[in-house]
């Protein structure tokens, strides 16, 4: 496995996702943010892949070094047709040095090459000594039970552990939404680059949710599960910094009216009827943006829609005039159902 530090081009680019304010905040979404969401200032993101699948059970190359234990939930996504699709959640059944075995998921079948994502607050990982001691204790147990995956991974394992120890202090002090990134060697540089717009879209959808948009009404269950899994809801006692990135803080929003749930149902229906020729993930992105627009007061809807597409994994849609016209037509049909 190798570590991608914040000084590298990969993480430096990912930092751009959250280092500057999103333009749509200036217009504002008209709903109160949920009260139960408390996220630390920065989270460490772990990326790995499914290496084997046996009878629907996945073996993944994120394990002991990454502080995963039995019962831990991981977001699973798949890259196909030049875009990413959320699959759902994998639950860790057994954790060994550098790899994990998951339970068989109920609603999808893992495939070799699927990506898995885990997040962790730097404070929950503990300081360098805590990371090392916890790893050694659990490794003694797994080795005693004869559960070693491969002695050839010892060097990789030790290198990864040392890098985590060295970087932990910097993660705690990070002033960005992504405090650090660790990816396995199976996650190629090409895939890492392609992941950036998708992570950008995750943040966009989560920002909508923070503002009170009922995103879950217009997306599949797999999307909803992945969005929730990639949140942190228990504030670490080791992190004493204020919540949120000061450069990307949200402005107070005055709520004018609530959105009728029937309009969100209409959004999903109209998008499916009018955008049937597009990839399902493009449809989901359009539906969420339309749902957010129901809550949003803006003087230039077409410009606002284009700004949202630029923050998704389909930024090219922001430059397609016909797509913007089609989305405006969807909004007119939806509003007529009021």
Domain range annotation of the chain: 2-246, 261-336
Q: Would strands 178-183 and 43-54 be described as parallel, antiparallel, or unpaired?
A: parallel
Residue 301 tokens read as: 């809807």
Is the confidence at residue 85, as pLDDT, over 60? Answer: yes
Question: Looking at the chain, how many residues does it have?
Answer: 338
The predicted pLDDT at position 97 comes to 67
Comparing 9-13, 67-71, 112-116, the range with the smallest average pLDDT is: 9-13
Question: pLDDT tens across 248-301, in order?
Answer: 334 433 334 578 899 999 999 999 999 999 999 999 999 999 999 999 989 999
The predicted pLDDT at position 193 comes to 93
Question: pLDDT tens across 90-109, in order?
Answer: 999 988 767 889 999 999 99
pTM of the shown model: 0.74
Residue 237: pLDDT band by 50, 70, 90 thresholds? very low
């Amino acid at each position: 496995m190798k570590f991608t530090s914040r000084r590298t081009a990969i993480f430096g680019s990912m930092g751009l996702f959250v280092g500057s304010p999103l333009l749509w905040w200036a217009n504002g979404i008209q709903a109160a943010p949920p009260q139960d969401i408390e996220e630390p200032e920065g989270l460490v993101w772990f990326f790995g892949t499914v290496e084997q699948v046996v009878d629907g059970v996945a073996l993944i190359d994120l394990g002991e070094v990454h502080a995963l234990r039995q019962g831990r939930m991981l977001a699973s996504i798949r890259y196909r047709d030049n875009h990413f699709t959320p699959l759902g959640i994998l639950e860790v059944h057994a954790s060994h040095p550098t790899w994990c075995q998951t339970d068989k998921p109920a609603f999808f079948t893992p495939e070799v090459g699927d990506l898995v994502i885990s997040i962790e607050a730097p404070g929950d990982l503990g300081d360098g000594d805590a990371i090392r001691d916890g790893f050694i204790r659990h490794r003694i147990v797994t080795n005693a039970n004869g559960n070693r995956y491969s002695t050839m991974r010892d060097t990789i394992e030790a290198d990864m552990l040392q890098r985590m120890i060295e970087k932990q202090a910097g993660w705690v002090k990070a002033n960005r939404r992504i405090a650090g990134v660790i990816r396995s060697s199976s996650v190629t540089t090409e895939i890492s680059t392609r992941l950036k717009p998708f992570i950008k879209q995750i943040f966009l959808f989560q920002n909508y949710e923070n503002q009170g948009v009922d995103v879950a009404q217009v997306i599949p269950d797999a999307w909803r599960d992945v969005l929730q899994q990639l949140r942190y809801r228990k504030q670490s006692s080791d992190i004493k910094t204020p919540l949120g990135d000061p450069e990307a803080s949200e402005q107070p929003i005055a709520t004018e009216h609530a959105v009728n749930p029937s309009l969100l149902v209409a959004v999903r229906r109209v998008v499916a009827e009018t955008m049937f020729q597009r990839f399902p993930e493009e449809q989901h992105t359009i539906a969420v943006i339309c749902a957010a627009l129901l809550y949003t007061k803006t003087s230039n809807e077409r410009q606002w829609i284009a700004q949202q597409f630029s923050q998704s994994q389909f930024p090219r849609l922001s430059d397609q005039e016909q797509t913007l016209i089609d989305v405006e037509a969807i909004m007119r049909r939806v509003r007529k159902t009021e």
